[in-house]
Structures are given as structure tokens and as C-alpha cells.
Amino acid sequence: MAVTEPSLLKVEALRRQFPIFKRSFNGKELAYLDNAATTQKPGIVIQELTRFYSESNANIHRGAYALSEEATAAYEGARQHVAGLIHARSVQEVVFVRNATEAINLVAYAWGRRNIHPGDRIVLTELEHHSNLVPWQLLAQEREALLEFVPIDGQGRLDLAVLDRLLQQEPKLVAVGHVSNALGTINPVTEIVRKAHAAGARVLVDGAQSVPHQPVDVTEIDADFLAFSGHKMCGPTGIGVLYGKQDVLEAMPPFLGGGDMIRQVQLHESTWNDLPWKFEAGTPHIAGAVGLGAAVKFLQGIGMQAIFVHEQQLLATLLDRLQSLPYVSLYGPSDPAEQAGIVSFTLGHIHAHDVATVLDRHAVAVRSGHHCCQPLMERLHVPATVRASLYLYSTEHEVERLVQGIQDAARIFRLDRAVRGDARG
């Protein structure tokens, strides 16, 4: 990946498509650097939600009338867009859920309960979001299985030698994040999947922070499951995706029972619908899926590779600027070759929330806290970090405003003096 090529994005023109950037806070333009939490929505997606409810709204897969067929076509059309984005072999492999969290829980429940038995091992990593940790804890408790963790080094990179050792014990499952939401580490998931498969394990990849930002091809990664959320990729909240390999999904029992997921219902038993509907019980978030379809079209119109290049270039600038401030400590690889557009840092001994409060006064929105990664924060020996995360509409100007806000925080908290050695040590 040549990160030095010029950005292909016309960012200012793109920004104008996002109505929220018209807002100001304390008379200042919003510098939105919390894209790992959720992204802003382009007008096209917002309009598509309105259009669907105004023109095409009906329940799906049931009415024998034109409007219902139109709604069904819109919903299934969105599935096709999503399948295309991740290069799924078939739309049957794309299950709509609420978010990445639900996708992972679905696998833990439906696949896990059938395939995990007492004494079985599940391999996770120290980088995981609580969403890719707690569902496995619940499963392990219920099934008396063992959880094992691939550790990280001082820069937040996975120790793959330990993975190799853990794989020798023939775990049933490896669940790993593609990109760490807390540190930005890009994990070598293709290599991890290859090794895990060779050891006979299934693999779930948490793509919540990768699918929105870079080309992701499930045929190349070869994971058995991939989970991601629509709201982190310009789509609406409340809609997410579980990709699963067809044969794996077919062998799984359903997750939730109810309407739409059955073929035939008798009083004492039922037969299941075909994929992917077997896993979509009840009326789904139809408009949300349609909105996600519009978001995917929007992203593909820009190009996932172009988005990735843009973010990596901006990341290089951001890392450079932060490294030049003596009171800033960076966590994570700090190298655009191994890190996506997510940067975690602290300022001296100042609590992350105090830093974020100062930045908020500059209308710079960042996240502060443990980022749903409490075990990772403990591993790093910090209660919390400040996290800035980029997206396709992020600009150098926003990065500059972040840096200015940090400099202001350093002044307020007397860190610039501390570094010169004439205040506290």
C-alpha cells in the first residue's frame, strides 16, 4: 500500500454532502474525530430513509400486493449491495442483524451452543472489544469451555508466536478483530484464518472497524464469519450484518424463533426457512437495511481503496504531529503500515476525560475512556485514553485543530511547563 500517493478524494465536496457539518458548536465548526464510535450520515442515506417510508413502506416477504413487493425488492436489493461490498459468493451468506454485537452473539448462540462442548477451547486476543469478548465468556461459562488470549506486545501488535502455540491445542474457534477500535492495530487476519483453519478451527472476524474503511474481501480473508455495523459506515443505526459461509450457516440451528424464519409451523415443531431468512426472525429493520444499501452505494462510488489511502495519509500526518509534542504518549503501532485511522493517546498524567473536555470546548469531538476494552486498558496500565478516529471526510484542518486543542490542554494543565522542568517533575 503506497501511502504517499496523493489523496484521491475531493474531501471538501464530500463534506458538503453531510448535513451535520453545517452545525457549529460555541461558534466553531465541528471537528468530528469520533468515527470509530459512529460515523456521520450523507444526505443520500438520510433521504433514502425518508423516501422508503414515504413511497415504498410495507412489510416484506408476505404481501401479495405491489407495495409489499416493492419493499421486499428494496430490502433484498440492499442485501445485494452488501454482498457485493464484501465479495460474498451469494446473498444467502448475508444476514441482517442490528449491529456487530448482535452478529457476534448470534454466532455464539447458534453456532456456539451446537459446536462448543465442555473442555473445548476458544481463542481470542487481548485487543478485543467487549462485543467480541463477553458473548464468548457467556458461552464458555455455559458450556464449560476455555477462553485463551493471544497477547499483545508493547505497541499493541498481536504476538503470533503465541497464536501458533494456542492453535496446537486444537481450539474450536478463533475470534479476532480485524482492526482494533482502541489502538487502531490492523491484524493480519488472512494469515490468522489460514493458520486457524489448518488447525481445524472456525474463525470469526470482527470487521466493525475494517469493513467501513478499507476493501474487505471475504473470499480472500476466508473467515467463516464476519461481523460489522451499518452505523459505522455512513448507514443508519440499528442495522448490521453477519456474513457467514453458506455451509456453516446451513449447519447452524436458528438464533431467534418467530415469523419469517420458518418454512412450516406445526404446533409442536417447525422447519426452517432458507438462508439468510432462517436467521431473520420477525420484521427486520427494513428501512435501516435500505439505508445501509444506500450507504454502501455511496462508499463504493468513492471507492474503498481511495477511502483507505485518504485515511492512511491523514493518519501519517496525525501521528507526526502528535509525536512532535513531548507530553503526548501514543499507544498502538504508530506506523501507518500496521495501524488504521485510529489513534489512542494520553497527555502526561492528565485523565483522558479532562483532555476531552478541553477539546470539546474547541468543538473537537473525540472519545475518551476505555473504548469498551477494559482488559486492554488494564494491560496497557492506563485507566483511559483519548482516541481520535478518522473517516473519508476527515481533513488536515481537523487534525490541525485537534493538535491546537491538545496544545491548549497542555497549557491549561501546566504540562508545557512540566516538560521544561520548571514546574512539577
Ligand X SMILES: Cc1ncc(COP(=O)(O)O)c(C=O)c1O
Q: How far is the CB of 383 from another protein (least distance, A)?
A: 4
- DSSP E strands in 144-206: the ranges are 146-150, 173-177, 202-206
d(CA 345, CA 408): 16
- CA angle 305/389/212 to nearest 5° reads 35
Query: By CB under 8 A, how many residues form the interface with another protein?
Result: 17
Query: 10 and 303 in contact (C-beta within 8 Å)?
Result: no
Query: Does the footprint of ligand X cover residue 229 (CB under 6 A)?
Result: yes
**Residue 51 corresponds to which cell in the numbers above?**
423516501
Q: How far is CA 394 from CA 15, 19, 98, 232, 311, in A?
A: 8, 15, 26, 14, 8
Among 22, 89, 263, 353, interactor with another protein by CB under 8 A: 353
d(CA 377, CA 370): 6
Q: How far is the CB of 208 from ligand X (least distance, A)?
A: 4
Residue 117: burial class (beta carbons within 10 Å; 0-12, 13-18, 19+): exposed
Query: Does the footprint of ligand X cover residue 81 (CB under 6 A)?
Result: no
Q: Which one, 44 or 412, has the nearer CB to another protein?
A: 412
Q: Which does 361 bind (CB under 5 to 8 A by kind): ligand X, another protein, none?
A: another protein
Q: Which does 353 bind (CB under 5 to 8 A by kind): ligand X, another protein, none?
A: another protein
d(CA 274, CA 95): 11
Query: Does the footprint of another protein cover residue 90 (CB under 8 A)?
Result: no
Query: 30 and 20 in contact (C-beta within 8 Å)?
Result: yes
Longest dimension (CA), the chain: 80
Q: Which stretch binds another protein (CB under 8 A): 82-90, 245-253, 255-263, 358-366?
A: 358-366
**Residue 247 corresponds to which cell in the numbers above?**
455451509
Q: Can the peptide bond before residue 276 be classed as cis, meaning omega within 30 degrees of 0?
A: yes
CA nearest neighbour of 204 among 242, 167, 238: 242
- CA angle 169/174/176 to nearest 5° reads 140
Interface of this chain with another protein, residues 382 to 411, rule: CB under 8 A? 383-384, 408
Query: 62 and 51 in contact (C-beta within 8 Å)?
Result: no
Helices (H) and strands (E) in the chain, counts: 16, 17
Query: Does the footprint of ligand X cover residue 342 (CB under 6 A)?
Result: no
Q: Which one, 140 or 364, has the nearer CB to another protein?
A: 364
- DSSP E strands in 108-239: the ranges are 121-125, 146-150, 173-177, 202-206, 225-229
In the annotation, is 373 catalytic?
no
Query: Does the footprint of another protein cover residue 201 (CB under 8 A)?
Result: no
Q: Which does 129 bind (CB under 5 to 8 A by kind): ligand X, another protein, none?
A: ligand X
Q: Which does 229 bind (CB under 5 to 8 A by kind): ligand X, another protein, none?
A: ligand X
Query: Does the footprint of another protein cover residue 354 (CB under 8 A)?
Result: yes
Spot the catalytic one: 85, 290, 325, 372. 372
Query: Does the footprint of ligand X cover residue 100 (CB under 6 A)?
Result: yes
Interface of this chain with ligand X, residues 122 to 141, rule: CB under 6 A? 129, 131-132
Among 358, 390, 392, 403, interactor with another protein by CB under 8 A: 358
Q: Which one, 76 or 354, has the nearer CB to another protein?
A: 354
Query: Does the footprint of another protein cover residue 350 (CB under 8 A)?
Result: yes
Query: Does the footprint of another protein cover residue 369 (CB under 8 A)?
Result: yes
Query: Does the footprint of another protein cover residue 259 (CB under 8 A)?
Result: no
Q: Which stretch binds ligand X (CB under 6 A): 76-84, 97-105, 263-271, 308-316?
A: 97-105
Q: Which does 208 bind (CB under 5 to 8 A by kind): another protein, ligand X, none?
A: ligand X
Q: How far is the CB of 238 from another protein (least distance, A)?
A: 24
Among 51, 113, 297, 361, interactor with another protein by CB under 8 A: 361
Q: Which one, 57 or 329, has the nearer CB to another protein?
A: 329
d(CA 104, CA 94): 14
Query: 157 and 179 in contact (C-beta within 8 Å)?
Result: no
What residues make contact with ligand X under the rule CB under 6 A? 36, 99-101, 129, 131-132, 177, 181, 206, 208-209, 229, 372
Would you name the residues annotated as active-site residues?
A: 372
What residues make contact with another protein under the rule CB under 8 A? 350-351, 353-354, 357-358, 360-361, 369-370, 383-384, 408, 412-414, 424
